[in-house]
A and B are shown apart, each in its own frame.
Chain A
Amino acid sequence: MSHSNRQELQALTKIVRATQGADFGSALQTSLSRRRFFLAGGATISFGALLAACGAGESTGIARIGDSVPDNALADVEVTDVVLLRTATSLEYNAIHVYEAVASAGILSGDAATLAARFLSDHRAHAEATSSLTEQLGGTAFTQPNPRLQTIYVEPALKLIVGDSGSGIKPTADPVADVLALAYALETIAGSTYQAYIPKLSDPALRGSAIGIGEQEARHAALIGSLLNPDRLVSSFGLSIAAQYREEADVPALAYAVPTSFGTLSPAPVILGAANESGTRTTIDLETPSLNSLIYED
């Protein structure tokens, strides 16, 4: 900072100190004298000069080490029908991974295992269908779980259920209930994903194919919801119906066969894992794939 700038800053500091605690209301009404007017105006000009001086190129009083690295240009990518179909396929593989992991861990048995096997078979068929559509459009089918969704949702969720000694995560107290809760959320998000793609797909025929798969994911979710909440299959929340048909609870349950009147794109929360010292369990909010989890073509 130059000598003149330092003087201006000192003058400004004096003005600020002189006006601290002043009764501006009465002062403005009674005696905003010509002299004070010029003083205030001078302070404004001086402060402006100070700012200008600080921003001048030749004034290098602020310490700086090295030069900043130029920003990386963002990749110029386009969300095409192929990208959406590849992402849908990747989500099917996320579901396939979950059901295969649950089967190999032997968590489910009896009817629950039978249903899970059916869901696994359906997701394999869906993956084949979306892969086939991808290739019909000239794209390359993606045959792996969505890496980002696997990292932020699937793997943490499975660790919360079966435990992970390496990171000190204890297995859940009720793995069957947790698997059903995870499957409910995963199937709900799968249906929501296809629903979300409808206005994004350019070809109406593709939209029909997509929602045809999406409604089957919704059926999976509904079946699990009917097992988790058999007494109340259709939620009353948000409906204009008579009071005697409404649920008494203040908040909706975590699962229903039919949770809403329209399919939503909102996150699906799932509570998993062992309780911590204060009795709290982990909540994971599953969301539909966003721009940073789409499967773009190389």
Chain B
Amino acid sequence: MTASKTNSAPPVKRPTAADVELLSAAQSTELAARDLYNSAIAAGAGGNHLASLVALSAHHDAYAQSISSLIGADAPQTRDDELFNSLVADFGSETVGAALAAHGLENSIVAAHTTLVGELVGTDGAALMASIVITEARHCVALATIAGKSAVADIDLFLVTTAVATTSAPSA
């Protein structure tokens, strides 16, 4: 670590040009996640936890909108089609399968966005992504529960962040 010992220098608040690129990729990932949840919901997944899946979709939509608020006209407003197409078959009508696929997706997003927070220069973007990462980590736990996993026997599924190689969430 090379941080200075004092925080007296005023930090950069607004996203830099490089930040905007990173945040744009993050927005496309969020929109792909939203659409993947919507695909599973439309196919009939959810069961007793349908309302939770609907809420998770709404969360990702909110994240995309918040990134638009931050970077304005630079926001792509389009989903990451490569990510969506690579996973949409897993987000089908079967609740456990869809929940496990979503769990893997959320884990990858948490890993990618944690890296992103460490690379953003502007504190506005870093603070926003931090507030998103905190909740996306919680998503992983909710999805492991929906998938019927044991909080004791399968504890690492709930608590350990592991990126899934099949997703193309931005690694910044």
Q: List A residues at the B interface (Cβ < 8 Å).
A: 78-82, 111, 114-115, 118, 122, 133, 136-139, 191-192, 194-195, 198-209, 211-212, 214-216, 218-223, 225-227, 230-236, 239-242, 245-247, 257-258, 260-264
Contacts and interface: CB of A to CB of B under 8 A. Distances in A.
B134 A202 contact: no
Interface stretch (B69-77, B88-96, B123-131): B123-131
Contacts of A138: 5
Interface string B9-38: 101000000000000000000000000000
A202 B132 CA distance: 20
Contacts of A78: 6-8
B59 A80 contact: no
A226 B126 contact: no
A241 B41 CA distance: 13
B117 interface: yes
A79 B11 CA distance: 13
A195 B130 contact: yes
A20 B121 CA distance: 67
Given A195-B130, A247-B51, 20 more contacts: A78-B6, A81-B3, A111-B151, A198-B127, A198-B130, A202-B4, A202-B11, A206-B3, A207-B117, A209-B118, A211-B114, A211-B130, A219-B140, A233-B52, A234-B142, A239-B55, A258-B135, A261-B62, A263-B132, A264-B131
Contact of B131 (A114, A220, A247, A262): A262
Given A111-B152, A258-B55, A199 B123 contact: yes
* Residue in A211, A236, A258 with the greatest tally of chain B CB atoms within 10 Å: A211
Given A201-B3, A218-B138, A118 B55 contact: no
Interface residues of B, number: 56
* Residue in B3, B50, B66, B141 with the greatest tally of chain A CB atoms within 10 Å: B3
A264 B131 CA distance: 7
